[in-house]
Amino acid sequence: MLTVSADDLQQTFGFRAPRGYQPRYNIPPSQPLLALTGEGGRELREIVWGLVPASSPDSSASRRHINARAESVWTKAAFKEPFESRRCLVVIDGYYEWQADGGVRRPHRVCLESRRPFTVAGLWDRWGEDDQEIDSCAIITTSASPRIVGIHDRMPLMIPEGERDAWLDPGSSLERLREIMVPYDGDDLEAYEVSPLVNSPANDTPACVEPFHAPAQDPSSRPLGRSRRKAVSSEVLDLFPTQEGDS
């Protein structure tokens, strides 16, 4: 998600938001994210979430990669070339993660306590030619910060301000990049429960980020049966799973 104003973005990063920028409260894969790339000078631009490698025979959903693991990203065929020359910084001010609670998965917003936007590591590539071109990206993930590990064991790889230039520099060595690709250890992360509204990409309003207190579960209620557990699980997407499809 990226809920701040265009003025906030310019104040934080020193770049203007793209024309027509609007805050987003619920961004699923296949929709544009805002990112900084090193191509043609630094600028904030929209890139579709779901990397389609330039070498891919087509741009179908099955070819797309939404995540890449920091521990192995440079070794994977789909990510090797983008990792070497087309790294990017995805700009967000939070993301959603689902905490398993018995047969229910409760959505949480993870953000900085300040609610300020920050950058996470990404890779981008350009598929196709001319009017068929698609610029797309994947978000790199790493082990979760101690502040949120109780919700999920993975999270996006946060890139602090002092490391942004090195991350975007195509001349940075693998050794230097591996120094950057470490779990976030700041004590300013916050996670709070939000409404199940975020389970549907159709909901993209400020209500998605408002704190939510789920009603207490009736202790006399029976546990979910297998079919119901499967239905609940299929309603939401684990955006940063323990094992990403990154091969």
Q: Which residue has the higher pLDDT, 27 or 232?
A: 27
Average pLDDT score over residue span 35-49:
86
Average pLDDT score over residue span 183-203:
95
Q: Who's near 135: CB < 8 A, 6+ residues apart?
A: 45, 47, 48, 124, 125, 126
Q: For residue 241, what pLDDT is reported?
A: 65
Taking the C-alpha atoms of residue 121 and residue 70, their distance in angstroms, rounded to an integer, is 9
CA atoms within 13 A on the CB side of 72: 11
Q: For residue 143, what pLDDT is reported?
A: 96
One-letter-per-residue 3-state SS of the chain: CECCCHHHHHHHHCCCCCCCCCCECCCCCCCEEEEEECCCCCEEEEEEECECCCCCCCCCHHHCECEEECCCHHHCHHHHHHHHHCEEEEEECCEEEEEEECCEEEEEEEEECCCCCEEEEEEEEEECCHHHCEEEEEEEEEECCCCCCCCCCEEECECCHHHHHHHHCCCCCHHHHHHHCCCCCCCCEEEEEECHHHHCCCCCCHHHHCECCCCCCCCCCCCCCHHHHHHHHHCCCCCCCCCCCCC
Confidence of residue 234 (pLDDT cuts 50, 70, 90): very low
Give the pair of three-digit tokens for residue 55.
């070498």
Taking the C-alpha atoms of residue 237 and residue 134, their distance in angstroms, rounded to an integer, is 23
Q: For residue 245, what pLDDT is reported?
A: 52
57-100: per-residue pLDDT in tens?
Answer: 888 876 789 999 999 999 999 999 999 999 999 999 999 999 98
One-letter-per-residue 3-state SS of 70-117: CCCHHHCHHHHHHHHHCEEEEEECCEEEEEEECCEEEEEEEEECCCCC
Q: Who's near 221: CB < 8 A, 6+ residues apart?
A: none
Contact (Cβ atoms closer than 8 angstroms) between residue 105 and residue 192: no
